[in-house]
Structures are given as structure tokens and as C-alpha cells.
Chain A
């Protein structure tokens, strides 16, 4: 006998379930209610509709004819208002009353709207249905839209509107886009591709309030005070299962409608399928598991045995030009290994996460052709031990021998492009070699290959090696560390020329072999980035050596030494009293006078540091940076104020220089000495910069040392005025900051580039001197600050104490 099935919701899951029923010729009389005024369409294809690549007609799954052919009684644009489970009756707002033998919930989900101030303004929408899509499609070119949410849906909305000429800004609360599907490197590449499409992306951005005017949205306000003007605001921050109706009629509901493995709810005659269900604590938003559920629910209705089992799912983003693929689990957890492939020039990134010789996660960006192959092995739990070496290259490379990079270069045809920047092919390079260009410099000079961004340097060298055979010796500039083959000089050049402004950018674009560097390269990269991009890059304490992170010098017993700044070596009775008080209060075991005319408090416990700083701050003292690769001390003699031989105010100049230069980070430490006469009591001529005052002015000399090497400074310039002495000193420090290898002291760097070159840049070329001074000053707007005052604030000071202490608990 024909049974009656009532379905609430004409979505993709319930639609698929009906297809299964009708295909099996199951004997059901179906009534279908849908709140949207239309039947089932392929909701996940709304993005191509938005971008104009498809029309609504293209994505309709079930048209009128289909419903009619299958005898479905359709109530579209109709809301079910009440379910009487005892009487098995469904009532709807069009006045209809329908009885059922079985009831199927396919009520889907509701977009989550963050209840922040202004969320109810006109012009604030979600991205869920055709109405939302049409609203976005109707935005004229040049109008402004803000999308909150950098997940799958938000980005598809953003890209679709950007393709229509709308100015789109994506605001995302997390550190990188699509954090649930992508790891940080892939997120970075995606962000870059979206920015290339003209979309502004703001990560780590907290929305605070939606601002309106006459009841209509005007702008989004972030909690850092930024206002993002917009004509439309799209919230794509997630979905919540739509459970209201189910809860109202007394079904068991958690986050979603509770179902068992057969998709039956707490009432044996009521079933549920799709985004509205909760199964074993999980809810579902992607289409693959929904289709699995649809199959199960159809079988259950037909009285056949079936059980729903969640499986690994994969994700692809439907944005033209952004190829990405993600499947499985690629974060968190121990005992996992990564296989990573990076090709920055092509923008390709692939990462496989391996556990017990099985793929458990895969993230790919740029080239996703092998995604399904990896996904298949992930689902099947294939043992990959045998193919591990070539696994990442995909199915085409299995069973062959491990490849030799030289052979690959040798096999390239003459018209293969080697240098993308200058469009130089292998043939041109070979011709140049045959014409006598036998090293990298000569190739750069004759063909321009590798002369721009330098990414292809390795390839050019391989062409040289293949062409010249044993006559070519690969140059061996030491690399930064095992994480890269690039030298410090190459990395610095590439950070500037490719405008790399974050650590992720460096790891990605320069093909780092490790996820986030090591203790050797991270401090160097952190320094290069902050020196070259002081405004754009934010200093990362976690990439710094302990002393620079804790702003004190660690001692061999784990305590610290604290050195307050004394400008130019001048102090006061009040400062000395404060130092003495601190030494008493915190039981500082050793107090020592340093070679740089400062007082060192040795043996301070880490948890006492913030309090020690606070007390010193109260007396007007700031960090002496005795721990930094940065400006340390300016040592002075008393100068003409007191000394009968003094020619200038060396103390005053020292104080001025120290107040100008303090807080700046440099490749290695920088010490200055200012002597008031050639007797040189401040020992200026063994400092990084030494100034000796004479009757007629100031002799500025540089590149001295008094450590493992002892060097006398060399004269950089003799100038007449104090202003010039300050400008030359500042310009010298800035050019050292911009060019030297990390951990090269000034004298080592000057020996490499030559003092003549330095003179040209900072003494002879006045415009360049001024530009260097300006760039230094720009950087100092960020870094000329007392780190102690910052870290002594209560919420930051907390971090200096143990996070928990179990030694106070009574022993058992």
C-alpha cells in the first residue's frame, strides 16, 4: 500500500534522497514543503552564478517537470508552522494540513549573523540563497563591499563580486585565510592571489561595530579603530543547523537534530538528513557527507539496511585562478611527518602529512591536479613507504628512479625559459657560455639572466655546469643555514627586490626547506624584515634570541643581568639611589661598572624583571639595550666643559647621538665612542663608530673593534659641525643596517664592501646621505621606545612568571 512521506525543505540532501527513492520505484506519495519560493537547485554553484560564469537556470537540479513526473505535491514559498507527532499531521502557513506515515526533515541551516551592533541595518546580508546572490550581483562596478569571514563561502563571494568590478575587502579574524582547510603557507599564497585580483584582505581583524546612516549600512568599524566604508556588508562566518521546528515538536536536538546511523531521529517515524542533523556529535556543511546521508535515509525509508559513516572529505575553492585543494587532517598532533614541495616561481605549494606511512592530510595550492590521487590514498589508507621518495610528484612519477636535477636541466630544450623576469631561454645562455661567459657574473652581464629577482640563479648555474662540464666550479657562497641554499646576501637582496614583508613570504617565495626556519635563520630573517620594512613588518619576539626577547642578558645560571641606560655615561644621584634601592629590594648579588660606562645589576631572577624595570622606569631610566644586536652605548669623555684639553662638547654630542640612535636594531651590536680631543680618553678609535673632536671640527671614523679582533677605526669623514657629524654617523649606521649580513660587526662588513664605497654613499653623495637619515628616522618612529616600560605592564609582566606552580601543593 502506498505510504505518505512529507519532506520539509527542498535542498540538496533531501533532493538527493528523493532521487534515490524514485530511482528505486519505491511506493511513496510525497509532499514537499519549501520556504524558499523554488525547488531544489545546486546551492554550491551559487558562486559561479555570482561571478557570472553560470546562470541560475544552469544550476537548477529539479525543475517543475521533474517534480510533476514523480508526482510530488509541491508547496514552495510555504513555511511549515506546526507538527503534531501524535496525530502525524504537518500544518503550514498556506493553511494546508497533511498527514504522514514518515516525516523527513531537510531544513538545512541558517547563516550565522554575528549579533554585533548594527547587524540589523539594511544592507547587511548573509550568503546563503539565490536572493543573497542576486543582491550581490546587483552591486554596480566601483561600489564598495565588505565581506566578514575568510572561509570558503566568504572568499567565493568576494571573488565573485571582484570579478564584477566591485571593490571588495575581506575581513578575517584568524591569522590566515581558510584556516580550517589550509595551513599557513597555503593561506598566504591564497591571500596573495586574491590580492592580485584586487581584493583587499585583512587578517587578524576584529570587527567591532557596523556603522549606519539613515538605517543603511555605511561602514564596518574594526576594534583597532579602522573604518572600512561599504555599500553592502556580507557576513559569511558560518552556519548553524536549522533545528527550530524539530525542537518545537519535541524531537531530541543538540547543535543539530539528533539522528542515529540510519538517519532516524528520536521519533522512529521522523527522519532527518543534511545540514540540519547532528550525528555522533558532528554537524555537516560540505556536500559529500550529505549525499552519503541521502543514500542512507532513502534505504532506511525503503526498509533496507544501511548505516551512515562519516568519511574524510576534501575541499576545493571555486575561485577562478585560485587552485587549491585540501583534505584530511594537516594540523595538530604528534608522530606526524611532512613532505613539502614548493615552487615559488610557479606559485605551487604541496604538503602531505604522513603518519605511520599513510597519508592523513593533504594541502595543495597552485597545482591541484594530483589532489584526487592523494585523496584516494588518504581514504584507502594506502601504505606509501615504497613510493615515499617520489610521492609528492604525483602518479606520473611512480615507479621511476629518483630524479637527478642536473639531468633535468640537461634535458631542457633550447627554448625553455630559465629567467622569467628577463625572458631568457636556455639556448641564449648556452650561446653566451660558448661565446666566453663562464661564470654567473658574466652570464648576468651578457644575457641579464638571473640579474633581476635572482630566483633562477641556481638554474643558471646548472646550465653553466651542464655546458662547461668540469670547467665550471659551482660557487660555494655559504648558505644561511640548512633551511635554504641561499646566502645571506641573496636573501637580503630578494627581500628588497621581491618586496617580501613577512616571514611567511620569505619561506614561500624563497623556497625554504623547513616549515618556519630554525634558530639560525629565524633571527636573521626577522632582522632583515624589520630593517627593510620597518612600517609593514612587525617584529617577532619568538624569532629572537632569549636576551632580545626578555630584554636582559641571560647568565649561565638562568638569572639575568639588567643594565639601565645612562645617556652618554652621565648619571645623577637620584638615578644612583634608584639603582641602589633596586639592588637592595631584589637582593641583586652583584653590581658591576661596565666597560661602556654603565652599571650592571647581575643575578636578577626572571620573574623579578618586570618589577625591577618598573622601579627603574619610575626613576626615569630606560633599557640600556646591553643585550641587543643594536645600539649599545655611547661612551664619552667629559669634553670641554671640564677638561682643560677638550676642544668640543663631546659629552653633549654623545648624549645627542645616544638619544637619536637608541632602540634601533642593527646586524650586530653597535658601540660608539666620542672623545673631546686626540688624547682619546673615550677610546673612540676601537669602536664601530668613533668621533674624535679637534679644534676645527669632528673626525668621524668607523669599523673599529676591540674584541676577538682588535682594529683601529678608519677615517670616514672630517666635518666642521656637530650636525654634520650626527648626519654622517646616522647615515653610516643606516647603510650598515640595510646591507650587512646578520651578525657581521661593522668592521667585517666594511671590509667586504670597501670603505671607498661607504664614503661614496654617505660622505660624497649628499642626497643619498639625507635619504639614509630619513629612512633611519622612519624606522625609529617604531623602535625608539623603551621595551621595559612596555613589558612592565601587568598583563605582559605575567608572562615572566611560571604559568602554574605545583610545588606549593602538599606532598601526598
Chain B
């Protein structure tokens, strides 16, 4: 594990997301209504829609292009759609969001 400070919690809108650019593509960092933070791939496996622009409801996000819904906890597509997005370890400490970049370096390498 290598925890890297990526942002203040308040940089991420409540029920919204911001993206982090990495060697392995964009990662979307979400903040739910209850202040839980999740990091998943920003790219919808269907047609590549930017998930960070989706509507966040409960612990799920809806892709803005064609309404695929993904669990932010497991990365699994919900309902009739089949697909999976990568999830990354992220945690909040003293109002800062920390992400485990070692997972991404592995992907990139």
C-alpha cells in the first residue's frame, strides 16, 4: 500500500465526483450523500462514458451517456447490464482523501 494525498474531501462535491489522472487512465473519486468516498475507473465499459459526470444515488452512479448503473462499492454493473469497472482503495483522514496508487502502478506496469 502507498497512500497518496489526492485532495481535500471538500474538493469533491457531495453526491458528485472529481477525476484523478493516472498512467492507467482517469480514476473517478466519488463522494456520496453520507460522505463515503469511493474511487473507481472513470470509463464506462459500455461506450466509454465519463462516470464522474453521472448522477450519484445511494452508493451507485449512473453513466451519463446511456444510463448504465454501477455499484461504487463493487464496481459491478447493476440490473440487466453486465460489466465491471475497476475499484481502487481510498480513505479519508482528517478531511483529506488518500488513495492507494500502488494498485495503479501495477496496472500501468
Contacts and interface: CB of A to CB of B under 8 A. Distances in A.
Interface of A: 183-184, 331-335, 514-519, 522-523, 541-546, 549-550, 554, 556-558, 799, 802-807, 811-812
B69 A805 contact: no
A335 B49 CA distance: 26
Give the 7 A-B residue pairs with the shortest CB-CB distance, closest first.
Answer: A519-B62, A803-B18, A542-B15, A546-B64, A546-B53, A519-B55, A805-B21
Contacts of B58: 514-516, 518
A334 B67 CA distance: 23
Nearest to B53: A546
Interface in B55-80: 55-58, 60, 62, 64-65, 67, 69, 73
Interface string B12-28: 11111011111100100
A550 B101 CA distance: 29
Nearest to A806: B22
Contacts of A517: 57
Contacts of A523: 55
A519 B69 contact: yes
B21 A545 contact: no
B34 A545 contact: no
B57 A804 contact: no
A interface secondary structure, majority: loop
A804 B7 contact: yes
B45 to A, nearest CB: 15
Contacts of B53: 546, 549-550, 554
Contacts of B38: 334
A546 B48 CA distance: 15
A803 B12 contact: yes
Decide if the interface of chain B is mainly helix, strand, loop or mixed: mixed
Contact of B20 (A184, A335, A543, A806): A806
A554 B35 contact: no
A558 B54 contact: no
A558 B49 contact: yes
Contact of B6 (A543, A557, A804): A804
Interface in B67-105: 67, 69, 73, 101, 104-105
A543 B55 contact: yes
Given A515-B33, A519-B67, A806-B20, 15 more contacts: A183-B34, A333-B36, A335-B73, A516-B57, A518-B58, A519-B55, A522-B55, A543-B15, A543-B55, A554-B53, A554-B64, A802-B20, A802-B26, A805-B20, A805-B21
A803 B36 contact: no
Given A514-B57, A519-B55, A546-B53, A803 B35 contact: no
Q: How large is the interface on B (under 10, 10 to 19, 20 to 34, 35 or more residues)?
A: 35 or more
A518 B23 contact: no
A332 B35 contact: yes
Contact of B13 (A184, A519, A799): A799
27 contacts: A184-B33, A334-B36, A335-B73, A514-B58, A515-B33, A516-B57, A518-B55, A518-B57, A522-B57, A542-B13, A542-B16, A544-B55, A546-B64, A549-B53, A550-B53, A554-B50, A554-B65, A558-B49, A802-B26, A803-B7, A803-B11, A803-B20, A805-B20, A806-B23, A806-B104, A807-B21, A811-B108
A742 B57 CA distance: 19
A394 B108 CA distance: 51
A556 B65 CA distance: 7
Nearest to A557: B48
A361 to B, nearest CB: 11
Given A517-B57, A549-B53, A558-B49, A802 B23 contact: no
Contacts of A805: 20-21
A794 to B, nearest CB: 14
Given A518-B62, A519-B62, A523-B55, A807 B23 contact: yes
Nearest to A542: B15
Which of A515, A545, A804: most chain B Cβ within 10 A?
A: A804
A807 B22 contact: yes
A811 B49 contact: no
Nearest to B26: A802
Contact of B73 (A334, A516, A807): A334
B28 to A, nearest CB: 10
B19 A802 contact: yes
- Of B12, B18, B33, B57, most buried by chain A (CB within 10 Å of CB) is B57
Contacts of B33: 184, 515-516
Contacts of B108: 811
B29 interface: yes
Contacts of A184: 33
A807 B20 CA distance: 9
B18 to A, nearest CB: 4
Contacts of A543: 15, 55
B60 to A, nearest CB: 8
Contacts of B54: 519, 546
Nearest to A482: B79
Interface string B28-43: 0100011110100000
A332 B90 CA distance: 13
Contacts of A546: 50, 53-54, 64
A804 B21 contact: yes
A518 B64 CA distance: 13
Nearest to B13: A542
A558 B101 CA distance: 25
A371 to B, nearest CB: 21
B103 to A, nearest CB: 12
A252 B47 CA distance: 60
Contacts of A541: 13, 16
A333 B101 CA distance: 20
B68 to A, nearest CB: 10
A545 B16 contact: no
B36 A332 contact: yes
Nearest to B18: A803
A334 B59 CA distance: 9
A64 B34 CA distance: 50
Nearest to B11: A803
Contacts of A515: 33-34, 57-58
Residue among A331, A517, A523, A542 with most chain B CB within 10 A: A542
Contacts of A331: 34-36
Contacts of B55: 518-519, 522-523, 542-545
Contacts of B67: 519
Contacts of B12: 803
A693 B60 CA distance: 51
Contacts of B56: 542
A334 B13 CA distance: 19
Contacts of A557: 48
A546 B73 CA distance: 22
A526 to B, nearest CB: 10
A514 B13 CA distance: 20
Contacts of A806: 4, 20-23, 101, 104
Contacts of A516: 15, 33, 57-58
A557 B44 CA distance: 12
Contacts of B18: 799, 802-803
A733 B47 CA distance: 37
Contacts of A812: 105, 109
A522 B56 CA distance: 10
A556 B47 contact: yes
A799 B16 CA distance: 11
Nearest to B58: A515
Nearest to B67: A519
A546 B15 CA distance: 13
A523 B15 CA distance: 13
A805 B6 CA distance: 9
B48 A558 contact: yes
B54 to A, nearest CB: 7
Contacts of B21: 802, 804-807
Given A803-B6, A803-B12, A803-B18, A519 B57 contact: yes
Contacts of B48: 557-558
B88 to A, nearest CB: 12
Contacts of A558: 48-50
